[in-house]
Amino acid sequence: MLTARTVQSLISKGNPCQKSDRIGGKGDGSLYLVVSGRGRAEWYYQWFASGKRRVKLKSTKVKMLDLADARTECVRLAGMVHDGLDPKEELEREEREKKFANTKNSSLGTVRDLFEGRIRDMKRRGVKTWKEDQRSLLKGKFAAINYMDEKMLAKDVSSRLIADVIAITYNRGSISMAGHLRSHFNAAFKYGLKAENDYRIDSRGIVFDLEKNPVSNIPRDKEAFKAAIRVLTDEEIRAFWFMGLDNGVDEKVHSVIKMIMATGGARVKEVVFAEKGEIDMKNGLFCIPKEKTKNGYEHTIPLTSIALEVLSEAKRFQIDDSPYLFPCAIKARRHEQPIDLGSPSQAIGRVCVNLKIEHWTARDIRRSIRTRLRKKKVVGDYLDMFFNHGRGASVGRKHYEHDEFLEIKADVMEAWETCLAEILKGDGDERQVER
């Protein structure tokens, strides 16, 4: 039988040894002190079952030097053996429950935690549209967080609450924005459901404890995602080109929109995120890498004289420490970010109000150009190549080599340059815009 003094002596000497401290009666097992060196010792419980000796079990619930506590734990484990339980399995179960309890008691995520975590995850994955979600959920004038208690636990957010927040945007007449807000909510709660179990995500010790996605009960409004049909008139294109700066449009944003027009309707993101290295002024090419295109295919756009002129004008906006053609105006961010993705459409909106014309957005430019080229009898497959539409479905993608592919784009671009030049000169006005 061990004593407290004996235990202290054995540990102090540090001679490797194993000493038994038998407790109780037959079948209760034994308590062992295993000394591995000076100041290093551990308690083990050893028992028998079905006539076979079990592996020694390290006791994790007692202090290394406390004999009284070790004996108390030994009695508890012996009770498990008498109840037909495996002490090792029971201790592992207790450890799992303890970890789970600690997790449950750690910082439960709030609505703000959920939204901020979603944005961080988008940045980690290189999703270029993270600013759209950030504006919709956190930082915009009508951001969802403004209509919610940001300290509310994410697990307590109901479908009804989310629907009420979306309804505010919908009742303001912004049907499309309401539909996209629902999508942003949905993505945020999907993130919350997996965040604590995805080893790639830095959850920062935050647990959302979500059982389901509350957005799943809110129907998706198909009207919000209905294909737009707005086609700009010649006069509307000309009005923005020449009158944009007189109607409160920032010079840099004005150049971005002119660039979209001059490149035959390049996507807004492709122009906003365009980098200096993507422009080949010598050969007149705008080379968009596959990482930035919608369909994952590299897209080369032949540059017309009008586009090259716009690019030359835009050089005054460029700075040495930023790779972007149109860097962010905020000095602290300009080396790592371009202008805000929503700036072009916001600027166009102001011009539409000032000139009293029907609202349009930067995305309508692309549709307007394709419509005009179709009227010029340009073959549909050529247009698919020119606009980088689809992924391999068209005849163009299956049957044309790269050089011929680029040659076709150049022919289509030539047709658009002629058309744009006529529009800017004022030939064939369709209607007048109030000045």
pLDDT in tens, 321-331: 889 999 987 76
Domain span at residue 169 reads 111-225
pLDDT confidence tier of residue 106, bands split at 50, 70 and 90: low
> What is the value of pTM for the model shown?
0.59
- Structure confidence at residue 372 as a pLDDT band (50, 70, 90): very high
Alpha-helical regions (H) of 83-158? 87-105, 111-124, 130-134
CATH number of the domain to which 391 belongs? 1.10.443.10
Judge whether 131 lies within some domain.
Answer: yes
Q: Over the stretch 251-260, which tens digit does the pLDDT of each residue have? A: 999 999 999 9
Distance of CA 353 to the CA centre of its chain: 33
What does the pLDDT average to over 152-168? 95
Write down the mean pLDDT value for the chain: 85
Q: How many domains does the chain have?
A: 3
pLDDT, tens digit, 9 for 90 and up, residues 132-153: 899 999 998 889 999 999 999 9
Q: List the structure tokens of 89.
A: 């399995």
Evaluate if residue 302 carries a pLDDT over 90. yes
CA atoms within 13 A on the CB side of 208: 28
Higher pLDDT among residues 399 and 20, named by residue: 20
Residues 129 and 197 in one domain: yes
Instruction: State the Cα–Cα distance between residues 157 and 210, nearest whole angstrom.
Output: 10
| Single-letter code of the amino acid located at 3 | T
Report the pLDDT averaged over residues 198-227: 84
Is the domain of 327 the same as that of 417? yes
Residue scoring higher pLDDT (1 or 265): 265
Q: Is the pLDDT of residue 386 over 80?
A: yes
CA separation for the pair 106, 111 (Å, rounded):
16
pLDDT of 395 higher than 50: no
Q: Is residue 434 part of a domain?
A: no
Query: Which pLDDT score is estimated for 401?
Result: 54
Assess whether 210 and 255 both reside in one domain: no
- Same domain? 134 vs 278: no
Whole-number Cα distances in Å, 259 to 199, 203, 268, 375:
42, 40, 10, 22
CA dist 410 and 377 (Å) reads 16
End-of-domain residue from the set 59, 88, 105: 105
- Could you count the other beta carbons within 10 Å of the beta carbon of residue 336? 12
Confidence of residue 431 (pLDDT cuts 50, 70, 90): very low
Give the end of a domain, one of 105, 126, 143.
105
**Local confidence band at 163 (pLDDT 50, 70, 90 cut-offs):** very high
Q: Confirm if 339 and 327 have CB atoms less than 8 A apart.
A: yes
Residues 92 and 190 occupy one common structural domain? no
Which ranges of 228-326 does DSSP label H, i.e. alpha helix? 234-243, 251-262, 268-272, 305-314
Q: Which tokens belong to 131?
A: 């600013």
433 assigned to some structural domain: no
- pLDDT, tens only, 50-74: 665 555 655 544 555 578 888 888 8
Of 77-86, 287-296, 336-345, 389-398, least confident by mean pLDDT is: 389-398
CA distance 207 to 110: 9
